[in-house]
Amino acid sequence: MSSLGLAFADGAVVAKRNLIKIRRVPEILIWTTMSPIMFVLLFALVFGNAIEVPGIDYKEYLIAGIFAQTVLFGSTFTGAGLADDITKGIIDRFRSLPMAQSAVLMGRTASDIVYNATSIFVMTITGLIVGWRIHTGPFDAIGGFLLLLLFAYAVSWIMAYVGLKVSSVEVVQNASFMFIFPLTFVANTFVRQDLLPGPLRTFAEWNPVSAVAQAVREAFGNTGSLPEPDVWSLAHPVAYTVIWVGIILAVFVPLSVRQYRKAASR
Amino acid sequence: MVGMIRTSGLVKRYGKVLALDGLDLEVPKGTVLGLLGPNGAGKTTAIRILTTLLDADEGIAEVAGLDVRTEPHKVRERIGLSGQNAAVDEHLTGYENLDMVGRLYHLGRQKSRARARELLDQFELDEAADRPAKTYSGGMRRRLDLAAALVAEPDVLFLDEPTTGLDPRSRAQMWETILKLSRGGSTVLLTTQYMEEADRLADDIVVIDRGRKIAHGNADQLKAEVGGERVEVVVASSDHVPATASILGRISQEEVHIDEPTRTVTAAVTGGVDILGEVLQRLRDGQCGIVDIGLRRPTLDDVFLSLTGHVAEEAEEILEQAHEKGDVREKEAVR
């Protein structure tokens, strides 16, 4: 088998191991899907009556933002999982085996796609219950979901690097929240970016999370009579998102693999 | 004899702390080397370097004739690692753990499965095979961990403190297993803090302290090197300890060792049983309340004491603190 083939085969073995773990400890999945459900319900039912987004019903507007936010938070699962494996000595076991150096990371990020897909599914159901609807055809909608998963996959690699670097589950979770919160709130996720003041508006316009939310909104036909965005990033949200995905992967895949090679236990 | 494991002038620094200070080791094919030393002596660092988990700063490390620095992948195909640093996945069953390791050694689906079942039988884990490893006792986990190291039938085995934290019965079982492996022709490098363990299992013992080799030989040679016998006196009250120590000090060949909590004074002597009578007489004259007195051959504990000037456990505490700092540095160094 070629070395790339071996890397995929080894990655599949590791991914299978991670999926067994999700199945054995369903609490992890249950509790992490609770928070997006809570977000959907709180925003739709509490803020839905208070926040006005001119041009569209708030529930319609909100869901794409929550989707983007949730996959971003979901990516911390990758970092936390790797940090946990380092602490428990599993990474040492893997590193002493003649397996492909990239396999543990490929397997981890691959199994986390399943994890993210599950939480997107749960949110979709919750959204439908509170009155959100998809107004486009199945191909557009599937495109929207795939873009979310692609973005989540790329961010997983950032978190993989963080997890290997700090090797503490708690630090991964707390530190990443400090970055993810501003990223998901200074964006068009919950309010219209063109109504934000000065520098916040610029940040929100070029924030990749805004592009993801915009792309998903368009894919589901949740744009109502919102004005057409006039910045390039939001006028071409799919292209802009894919560019970010490319940059993140180009930087963090090699960086993470390098970090894996010298990951120290304890 | 071919050296299956060989290090020469191995140096590893964590910041200013020297974890390994020019360590030379040679383990001939089919033998067991016991690497003996307190916590922080550098045992684990040596294992980590030899198993490709850590890069040395200086020196050469070879396994099965392969340089661990330049051919780490080939080295990994030949070795098995078990102990402190490698672990089993607690959410997977025993069977799933071994099957996964087999697949990652690229044994193929059929062979991985067969080998997993075979090892579970061999390590008496067949009944627990389909339970998640987190339900296992400490001894069962260690056995599973060792089984994982044996999946690909490696030529060279690294066992890092394989019995630390085990109850006496599990320890005895583990010893039995390791002896079987060594009789089967495996080359084993084993680290331990227990003298008795090295005595039981190792063909050859290297005592290290602060990253340096301080003695080398088989158990008998090391004991002979220390020489003589030990008189051990237990007194009734701690008031009698100083007087007893001073009397024994006059006939001892080295400094006497005092263990306060058990009120035990130990002295190195020569002259066999005759000396015992003399010691007894002197202690009676000195009115030391003797509870127990005995003559014994030196143990590896005595060897360690005489070589390093401190007992393994005392050293453990001091070095554990240094090691903790070392760990912090290790992470910093990695960054």
Helix ranges, chain B (H): 43-50, 72-78, 94-104, 109-122, 138-150, 168-183, 195-201, 219-226, 241-251, 272-285, 300-308, 312-334
Report the pLDDT averaged over residues B292-316. Answer: 68
- Which chain B residue has its CA at the smallest distance from A6's CA? B106
Whether the CB of B109 is below 8 Å from some CB of chain A: the reply is no
CB-CB under 8 Å, B334 with A263: yes
Nearest to B234 by CA among B252, B253, B260, B254: B260
- Which chain A residue has its CA at the smallest distance from B334's CA? A262
| ipTM for this model | 0.88
CA R_g for chain B? 23
DSSP A240-261: HHHHHHHHHHHHHHHHHHHHHH
Of A24, A97, A265, the CB nearest to B105: A97
| Residue A102 · residue A3 · CB < 8 Å | no
Our CA-based measurement puts residue A253 at a distance from the nearest CA of chain B, in whole angstroms, of 17
Residue A81's CB is within 10 A of a number of other CB atoms, namely 25
- Which chain B residue has its CA at the smallest distance from A263's CA? B334
Confidence class of residue A69 from pLDDT cuts 50, 70 and 90?
very high
Structural domain spans, chain A? 3-261
Please tell me the predicted confidence (pLDDT) of residue B83. 77
Residue A225's CB is within 10 A of a number of other CB atoms, namely 7
Question: Does the pLDDT value for residue B180 go beyond 80?
Answer: yes
Q: Which residue has the tokens 């022709």?
A: B185
CA–CA dist A36, A127 (Å, integer): 10
Handedness of CA A120, A254, A205, A224 (dihedral sign): negative
Measured between beta carbons, the chain B residues lying within 8 angstroms of A111 are none
User: A16-37: per-residue pLDDT in tens?
Assistant: 999 999 889 888 888 878 888 8
CA–CA dist A85, B85 (Å, integer): 12
Nearest to A108 by CA among A163, A187, A148: A163
B interface test, pick of A28, A93, A167, A266 with most B CB neighbours within 10 Å: A93
CA–CA dist B250, B279 (Å, integer): 10
Of B81, B92, B335, the CB nearest to A96: B81
Query: Above pLDDT 70, what percent of chain B?
Result: 90
Beta bridge partners of B268: B230
Please tell me the predicted confidence (pLDDT) of residue B25. 94
What are the E-state strand segments in chain A? none
- Which chain B residue has its CA at the smallest distance from A16's CA? B100
Dig out the tokens for A262 from the structure.
Answer: 């010298």
Of A13, A165, A266, the CB nearest to B104: A13
Our CA-based measurement puts residue B124 at a distance from the nearest CA of chain A, in whole angstroms, of 22
On average, the pLDDT of chain B sits at 84
Beta bridge partners of B233: B265, B293
CA–CA dist B285, B158 (Å, integer): 54
- Which chain A residue has its CA at the smallest distance from B72's CA? A98
CA–CA dist B250, B228 (Å, integer): 16
| Residue B7 · residue B25 · CB < 8 Å | yes
| Residue B311 · residue B301 · CB < 8 Å | yes
Restricting to B residues 39-98, those with a Cβ less than 8 Å away from any Cβ of A are 51-55, 73-74, 76-77, 79, 81, 84-92, 96
Q: Which residue has the tokens 């690097």?
A: A161
Nearest to A79 by CA among A181, A180, A173, A177: A173
CA–CA dist A74, A183 (Å, integer): 14
Nearest to A44 by CA among A66, A22, A75: A66
- Which chain A residues touch B if contact means CB-CB below 8 Å? 6, 9-10, 13, 16-17, 20-21, 24-25, 88-90, 92-99, 103, 165, 167, 262-266
User: B19-30: per-residue pLDDT in tens?
Assistant: 999 999 999 999
Whether the CB of B250 is below 8 Å from some CB of chain A: the reply is no
On average, the pLDDT of chain A sits at 90
User: B187-227: per-residue pLDDT in tens?
Assistant: 999 998 888 888 889 999 999 988 899 889 888 888 777 76
Of B76, B88, B335, the CB nearest to A96: B76
Within 8 A by CB and 6+ apart from A238, the residues are A147, A215
| Residue A140 · residue A219 · CB < 8 Å | yes
Please tell me the predicted confidence (pLDDT) of residue B288. 77
Question: Does the pLDDT value for residue B108 go beyond 50?
Answer: yes
Whether the CB of B105 is below 8 Å from some CB of chain A: the reply is yes
User: Under DSSP, is residue B234 helix (H, G, I), strand (E, B) or coil?
Assistant: strand
Please tell me the predicted confidence (pLDDT) of residue B33. 95
pTM: predicted TM-score of the whole model, two decimal places: 0.83
Of A13, A89, A95, the CB nearest to B100: A13
Measured between beta carbons, the chain B residues lying within 8 angstroms of A90 are 87, 89
- Which chain A residue has its CA at the smallest distance from B96's CA? A17
Within 8 A by CB and 6+ apart from A190, the residues are A43, A47, A51, A62, A65
Q: Which of the two residues, B303 and A107, has the higher pLDDT score?
A: A107
Question: Does the pLDDT value for residue A61 go beyond 50?
Answer: yes
Confidence class of residue B333 from pLDDT cuts 50, 70 and 90?
very low
User: A100-138: per-residue pLDDT in tens?
Assistant: 989 999 999 999 999 999 889 999 999 999 889 999 999
Please tell me the predicted confidence (pLDDT) of residue B330. 39
Measured between beta carbons, the chain A residues lying within 8 angstroms of B89 are 17, 21, 88, 90
Of B87, B101, B132, the CB nearest to A97: B101
Of A13, A88, A263, the CB nearest to B103: A13
Confidence class of residue B335 from pLDDT cuts 50, 70 and 90?
very low
B interface test, pick of A96, A164, A255 with most B CB neighbours within 10 Å: A96
Question: Does the pLDDT value for residue B331 go beyond 80?
Answer: no
C-alpha dist (Å) from residue B245 to B127, B230, B241, B253, B277? 55, 14, 6, 13, 17
Provide the Cα torsion B110, B115, B118, B121; round to 10°: -110
Q: Which element (helix H / strand E) includes A120?
A: helix A103-130
User: B231-282: per-residue pLDDT in tens?
Assistant: 888 888 888 888 888 888 887 877 788 888 888 888 888 777 777 888 888 8
CA–CA dist B299, B304 (Å, integer): 9
Question: Does the pLDDT value for residue A47 go beyond 90?
Answer: no
CB-CB under 8 Å, B76 with A98: yes
Q: What structural domains and CATH numbers belong to chain B? A: 3-223 (3.40.50.300), 228-297 (3.30.70.920)
CB-CB under 8 Å, A264 with B330: yes
- Which chain B residue has its CA at the smallest distance from A99's CA? B104
CB-CB under 8 Å, B92 with A17: yes
Please tell me the predicted confidence (pLDDT) of residue A244. 97
Helix ranges, A44-102 (H): 58-74, 76-87, 90-95
| Residue B36 · residue B208 · CB < 8 Å | yes
